[in-house]
Chains A and B, each alone.
Chain A
Amino acid sequence: EVQLLESGGGLVQPGGSLRLSCSASGFTFSSYAMSWVRQAPGKGLEWVSGIGGSGGSTYYTDSVKGRFTISRDNSKNTLYLQMNSLRAEDTAVYYCAKYDGSTWYGDYWGQGTLVTVSS
């Protein structure tokens, strides 16, 4: 059974940093792309970042480029999102998702972790 468990969310001040983790099990982690997707309060889904199975290819939405870094440790079956220079508009539930790396659809999703950026 595929399981994705996010952690690391919480309350942080504007300009601060946070690192999200996503622990994966139930599939060959290194064989699949992964993504972070967020949903701000009252808003829709927004793709944030993606990474290929080997970690060699990374992708970001424009609003987080230069501030967020996606990475993975395939030996630990864990996905990360390092978030720096956080802004109020980054407040959202962040989901990690297992993605098909060829046609890019997300077939399994975690339960999400809430990030609140506020003073």
Chain B
Amino acid sequence: SYDLTQPPSVSVSPGQTASITCSGDKLGDKYASWYQLKPGQSPVLVIYEDSKRPSGIPERFSGSNSGNTATLTISGTQAMDEADYYCQAWDSSAHVVFGGGTKLTVL
């Protein structure tokens, strides 16, 4: 099996930068994607292939992936960014794997 580890929670003040990490064995050799999930809504893809933003996703969302860690960065965090964030990768043994999720609190 393949495991991805995220911090359970991250807090950030409005306007500041939030960083959410995702750790896995040789994760930098795989493609990471990130999803935003708000209560009562469906997941939204915010980053794919490590650092690409889908159309409609604000520029304040960015991503990187190297070594054993992928990072989702939200610059100038807004109240509307408060949500759960999940990283995801593909592994040849486990196929698609999600991290445990990180609750981002904007306070």
The majority secondary structure among interface residues of chain A is strand
**CB pair B86 A45 closer than 8 Å:** yes
A11-19, A20-28, A71-79, A99-107: which lies at the interface: A99-107
Cα–Cα distance between A62 and B2 once the two chains are bound (Å): 12
Q: Knowing that A44-B101, A45-B35, A45-B37 touch, tell me 9 more A-B residue pairs with CB under 8 angstroms.
A: A35-B96, A44-B99, A45-B86, A45-B101, A104-B31, A104-B90, A105-B31, A106-B35, A109-B43
Binding site for B on A (CB under 8 A): 35, 37, 39, 44-47, 50, 59, 61-62, 95, 97, 99-100, 103-112
- 0/1 interface trace, chain B 33-69, chain A, CB 8 Å (1 if under): 1010100001111001100001000000000000000
- 0/1 interface trace, chain B 10-37, chain A, CB 8 Å (1 if under): 0000000000000000000001010101
Known A-B contacts A45-B101, A103-B48, A105-B48; A62 and B96 likewise in contact (beta carbons under 8 Å): no
Give residues of chain B (60-107) contacting chain A, Cβ–Cβ below 8 Å: 84, 86, 88, 90, 94-101
Binding site for A on B (CB under 8 A): 1, 31, 33, 35, 37, 42-45, 48-49, 54, 84, 86, 88, 90, 94-101
**CB pair B1 A37 closer than 8 Å:** no
Least CB distance, B3 to chain A, in whole angstroms: 13
Closest to A4 in B: B42
Cα–Cα distance between A33 and B39 once the two chains are bound (Å): 26
Q: In the complex, what residues of B have CB within 8 A of residue A107's CB?
A: 45, 48, 54
Least CB distance, A51 to chain B, in whole angstroms: 11
